[in-house]
Amino acid sequence: MGSLAPGEHAWSEAHRPYPSTLPVRTYVWELPVRVSHWFMVLPIGVLAFTGYYIHDPFIVGTSHTMFLMARMRFIHEVAAAVFISAFLLRMYWFFVGNDWASWRSFWPIKKRQWRGMGNMVAYYSFLRKDLVHYVGHNALAAVTYLVMFTFMLLEIITGLTLYTQVRGAWLVGWMFSWIPRVVDIQHVRLLHFCIMFTFFAFVIHHVYSAVLVSWEERNGLIESIFTGYKFIPRHELEEDARQEK
């Protein structure tokens, strides 16, 4: 094994080399994308805590007037309303947002997307050293988000179905009260509970992969979910524009 130059790390060759010219500050994630991201992420934590309490109360009230379960249910319902609103905003932005937010970048309808997924699987499996660079989501991440959006939709449907058993709001009742006549309400409740653990697994992988890719690409990926901006080499922007045509 050859010796390393001063200041060089053994893993540095796997990173994107520092560009010879300044990268382009590119507005990738529009405000509705960032808002919907955080207003789905934060309520998930509240929903998980209160939802698990509703499933299996683990805090004992010190007084019969605390109405602890009622408070937990109320917080759960408010957080659910915020989550659903953010989800609907993101679904709307699939059709009016920029190219990186569009539904076309999530559905694998092009050969290069399938090829990109294979390359990213190889990268995560340590079968490929070089990361595949994308301006927006990489192909594998995009499909993963699509799957998670499907789980979110199921969580919303099952949650609102359970809500109809407690509160007979006319619109929610009209849309979802028929489901318990087709699927037993305990099965709906179990599915709603189990999907929560899918979110846990996704969050762990999502944070890990975001930190990893941000470290490898050196493009401000982590910061971009706050600011919307990434720093992209000009040749990658040009290549991305050609592929979108």
pLDDT band at residue 170, thresholds of 50, 70 and 90? confident
> What pLDDT is attached to residue 60?
80
CB atoms within 10 A of CB 55: 13
pLDDT in tens, 104-129: 999 988 888 899 999 999 999 989 88
Stretch 213-231: mean pLDDT: 92
Stretch 70-87: mean pLDDT: 96
pTM value? 0.85
Least confident of 63-67, 90-94, 104-108, 227-231: 63-67
Is pLDDT at 42 greater than 80 in this prediction?
yes
Question: Cα–chain-centroid distance for residue 19?
Answer: 30
> What pLDDT is attached to residue 140?
94
Stretch 39-65: mean pLDDT: 89
pLDDT band at residue 62, thresholds of 50, 70 and 90? confident
Average pLDDT of the chain, as a whole number: 88
Q: Give the whole-angstrom CA distance, residue 56 versus residue 231.
A: 46
> What pLDDT is attached to residue 23?
87
Are residues 213 and 221 in contact, defined by beta-carbon separation less than 8 angstroms? yes
Is pLDDT at 189 greater than 90 in this prediction?
yes
> What pLDDT is attached to residue 245?
60
Are residues 139 and 114 in contact, defined by beta-carbon separation less than 8 angstroms? yes
> What pLDDT is attached to residue 19?
58
| Cβ neighbours of residue 62 closer than 8 Å, sequence gap 6 or more | none
Tokens 């094994």 belong to: 1
pLDDT band at residue 16, thresholds of 50, 70 and 90? low
